Amino acid sequence: MSFILTASIMFAFWILLSGEFSFILILSGVFSSLLVSYMSHDLLIGKGDIKLGLTRTIRFIKYLPWLLWQIVLANLDLVYRTLHPKMPINPRIINFKNDFKTDLGMVILANSITLTPGTVTIEVNENEFIVHTIAEEAAQSLISGEMQARVKKIEGEHNV
Amino acid sequence: MDIRAIITGILLALGCFFIVVASIGIVRFPDFYSRMHPAGKSDTLGQLLVLSGLMVYEGFSLVSVKLLIIIVFIFIVNPTATHALAKAAYVSGLKPWKKEKGKND
C-alpha cells in the first residue's frame, strides 16, 4: 500500500516539475518513481497508519495561519531591535520540560520556536528544550505555553 | 500601470527590506547566539516575500507552483539549519553574551 502511494506521489511530483508530456519523459518518470519508491517507500509513509497522518496534516494546515502571523510579528520585533540605536536586547538561555510524545511534535515545536519572536531553539533532547531568547518578553511568552498547547493539538492523543 | 506589477514591486521591496535589516542585524548583534536570530527569521520572511512577489508576477502557472515548493522547502530548512548551527556552538561550549555580567543566569 505504501509502495503504491509513494509511487503515485513521486510520479505526480515528476509531472509537476517537468510539465511536459512527451513519451520519453513520461516513461522515464514512471521508471524513476518506481525505483525511488522501491528503495524508500517505508520512509515517506512509514509504519504509522495513513488516516492519522492525514488528520495531522489537516490540523497542521489549520495551525499555519497563526504561525505565519507570529513570523510577521517576529520580524517586526527584530527590525525594531536591530535598528534601535541602543539595541534593547537582554539575551539569556531558558529551558523547559519536553512533554511531547512524538518526534513530529518536537520538530514542529522546535522549528516554530525558531521562527517566532525572539527565540531560537538550541537543543532538544528527551527531557527538555533549551532555547536562546533575546529579550525578557520573548522568554515570558514561551514559558506561558500557548505554542506548546497549539502543537499538542496537532499531535493529538496517539503515541506514534 | 498594471496592478499586478505594483503588487509585485511592493512585495519585492518589503522582502529586500527584511533581508537588508537581517544583514545589518548580523553585523550589529553582540554574539553568535543573538546573531542567529536575524539569520534564522528575517531570511525566511524575506525570501517568502520575494518569492511570493515573483509568484504574483508569474500568475498561475507551473513556474509559480515550483516557487511555492521552494517557499515550503525554505520554511523547513532555514530554522533547521539555524538550529544545527546553534546546537553545534552550544555543544562545543560557547557561552552566550550577557548584558550585565553575573546578574542573571
Same domain, A58 and A39: no
| CA B55/CA A113 separation, integer angstroms | 27
Q: Are residues A88 and A22 in the same domain?
A: no
pLDDT, position A159: 64
Q: For A10-55, how does the pLDDT look when each residue is reduced to its tens digit (9 = 90+)?
A: 888 888 888 778 888 889 999 999 998 888 877 776 666 677 778 8
The span from the CA of B105 to the CA of B101, in Å, is: 9
Determine the pLDDT at residue B38.
Answer: 84
Chains A, B: CB contacts within 8 A come to: 97
Question: A70-105 burial string, b = 16+ CB within 10 Å, else e?
Answer: bbeebbebbbebbeeeeeebbbbbbeeebebebebb
DSSP code string of A64-129:
HHHHHHHHHHHHHHHHHHHHSTT-----EEEEEE----SHHHHHHHHHHHHHSTTEEEEEE-SSEE
pLDDT score, position B10: 93
Let me know the angle formed at the C-alpha of B83 by B81 and B84, rounded to the nearest 5 degrees. 65
Give every residue of chain A whose pLDDT is below 70, as ranges: 45-49, 158-160
Q: Domain limits at A14?
A: 2-44
Q: Work out the burial of residue A160: count CB atoms within 10 Å of its CB; fewer than 13 is exposed, 13-18 middle, 19 or more buried.
A: exposed
The answer on A38 and A54 residing in a single domain is no
Is the CB of A91 inside 8 Å of chain B's CB atoms? Answer: yes
Residue A77, in any domain of the structure: yes
pLDDT at B59: 83
Kindly indicate the confidence band of residue B100, based on its pLDDT and cuts at 50, 70 and 90: low
Q: How far apart are CA B41 and CA A16, in angstroms?
A: 29
Which residues from chain B sit within 8 angstroms of residue A121, using beta carbons?
79, 83, 86
pLDDT higher at A43 or B90:
B90
Distance between CA A110 and CA A114 in Å, rounded?
6
Q: Are residues A129 and A56 in the same domain?
A: yes
Is A159 in CB contact (< 8 Å) with chain B? no
Q: Say whether B21 and A87 touch across the interface (CB within 8 A).
A: no
Test B97 with A19 for CB contact under 8 angstroms. no
Residues A36 and A96 reside in one and the same domain: no
Averaged pLDDT, B60-77: 87
A82 touches chain B (CB under 8 A): yes
Give B36's pLDDT tier (boundaries 50, 70, 90).
Answer: confident
Q: What is the mean pLDDT of chain B?
A: 84
Domain positions in chain B: 3-91
B12 vs A143: CA distance, rounded Å: 35
Residue B12 has pLDDT above 90, yes or no: yes
The reported pLDDT for the residue numbered B13 is 93
Number of domain units in chain A = 2
Query: Could you please report the per-residue DSSP string of B39-105?
Result: HHHHHHHHHHHHHHHHHHHH-SSHHHHHHHHHHHHHHHHHHHHHHHHHHHHHHTTPPPP-SSTTT--
